[in-house]
Amino acid sequence: MLPAFCDGIDRRGFLRLGSAAGLSLAQILRLQATRAGEKPKAKDVNCIFIFTLGGMPHHDLWDYKADAPAEIRGDFRPIKTAVPGIGLTDLLPHTAKVADRLAILRGLTHGDSDHGRGYHIMMTGNTPGPGDFNSTKNNNVHPSLGSMVARMTNQGGSLPPYISVPCFLRSGGPAFLGPSYAPFVIEADPAAPEFAVRDVVLPEGVGGDRAVRRQDAVREINRLERAVEDTDKDVRALDAFSAKAYRLMTSAKAKEAFDLKHETAAVRETYGMTSVGQCCLLARRLVEAGCRFVSIEHGHWDTHRENSKSLRDLLVPGLDRGFSALVADLNQRGLLDSTLVVLTTEFGRTPRINTMAGRDHWPQAFSIVMAGGGVKPGIVLGATDKIGGSVTDRPITPPEMAATILHALGIDPGASLHTPLGRPVELASGGKPVLDLFS
């Protein structure tokens, strides 16, 4: 019989809504999407996704306008980088040294200047319908990139496939994919001395012997009538996850991934003892241990006032150290080819500095940065006009950005997922990967 859909899902299968198979609709659609997602097979490229929340000013960092008047150019000076011809500002001395590993994308563009909506657009590649996205904690109408990756890749590792730190990223949710593809959230600051990841270590007062006795007891009690267990998928599914959870607790390697104390003081210092720095270090440990997607939020970039001061004193130094250390460290460990680092934001900021010495929201043109994961190093793609106000070369839309990231991770951006209503939705919302970025 003819497959009725291009992705090889036959219509009959699609229609088996809540069928006799007894699977839930979501499960069926998920199975089908799995099938759809099998080609091409996901490469083992992982992603570290750093989101600067509030809107990262491209003028002051990645798209310096040396020839523009001071009220546009801003307060910073250009510096040389590891790549002749690629200029950054003196806010980024450490990053400048790894510029030969970076692809700077200066042509990002979308039309939404609202934080909540911009956040959604840049974490999913999908522009949501009308609505307020600022007041909701989990605002996804389309799955976040992390949830898509969790969904489309093998979840067999001993770590959760999608982790976010140091908090839940508001647009980092699974939308209709359901809580199974939500991130495992590390809600703690890895730079804090008492940093620990909740629930992966035994609770205080319960020693190793006691934990073993407990596990023995639960195993004993769970030995139930075979007949039921054989037929009940829910029980089996829970058991599978319990086993994974137990592996995580007991596997030294997995558990150690969460523990920054295994890093030398020197390494921790290189990343910087800031929240974002230590998040970057933790992210590296997590992908090393098998996590597929780590999202990091670095907050408070909404510099409507005192832009330069905020950047210089608060925001950039930590990011500069952490981000550059991450790229250099991955490179040195030979992990950069298998790790895509993305530094992104909801939008850029206005060309003209306002009367409060701030910059306002500017989604028409802004920059994001990628490194590793097969992306060509040491390049700039796209350009903006003299004032950094609009894209003049190689515009990149959010769907294209999403498609590019998925492509780098070996996931077909055109694969379809099905909403609970049965509607097929493309992972990358119709975007095609920016192939110029790959060699």
Q: Which residues inside 179-208 make contact with another protein, applying CB under 8 A?
A: 179-180, 182, 184-185, 187, 198-206
20 vs 266, beta carbon nearer another protein: 20
388 phi, psi to nearest 5 deg: 65, 30
**Closest approach of another protein to the CB of residue 229, in Å:** 8
Q: Which of 66, 227, 266, 435 binds another protein (CB under 8 A)?
A: 227
Say if residues 318 and 277 touch (Cβ distance below 8 Å). Answer: yes
Question: In Å, what is the CA distance from 303 to each residue of 123, 300, 308, 353, 361?
Answer: 21, 8, 8, 10, 9
319 vs 406, beta carbon nearer another protein: 406
- Site membership for another protein, residue 9 (CB under 8 A): yes
Say if residues 103 and 375 touch (Cβ distance below 8 Å). Answer: yes
9 vs 365, beta carbon nearer another protein: 9
Half-sphere exposure of 46 (CA within 13 A, CB side): 26
**Closest approach of another protein to the CB of residue 164, in Å:** 12
From 226-234, 262-270, 285-293, 347-355, span contacting another protein (CB under 8 A): 226-234
Site for another protein in 107-166 (CB under 8 A): 130-131, 135-138, 160
**Closest approach of another protein to the CB of residue 270, in Å:** 31
**Closest approach of another protein to the CB of residue 133, in Å:** 10
**Closest approach of another protein to the CB of residue 222, in Å:** 5
**Closest approach of another protein to the CB of residue 173, in Å:** 8
Tokens of 377: 């190093």
Q: Which of 66, 70, 221, 435 binds another protein (CB under 8 A)?
A: 221
Site for another protein in 24-53 (CB under 8 A): 24-26, 35
Say if residues 127 and 145 touch (Cβ distance below 8 Å). Answer: no
Half-sphere exposure of 225 (CA within 13 A, CB side): 4
What single string gives the DSSP state of each residue in 210-266? HHHHHHHHHHHHH---HHHHHH-HHHHHHHHHHHHHHHHHH-HHHHHHT-GGGS-HH
**Residues 64, 89: Cα–Cα separation, whole Å:** 7
Site for another protein in 271-300 (CB under 8 A): none
211 vs 335, beta carbon nearer another protein: 211
Site for another protein in 58-97 (CB under 8 A): none
**Residues 28, 26: Cα–Cα separation, whole Å:** 5
- 156 by Cβ neighbours in 10 Å (0-12 / 13-18 / 19+) ranks as exposed
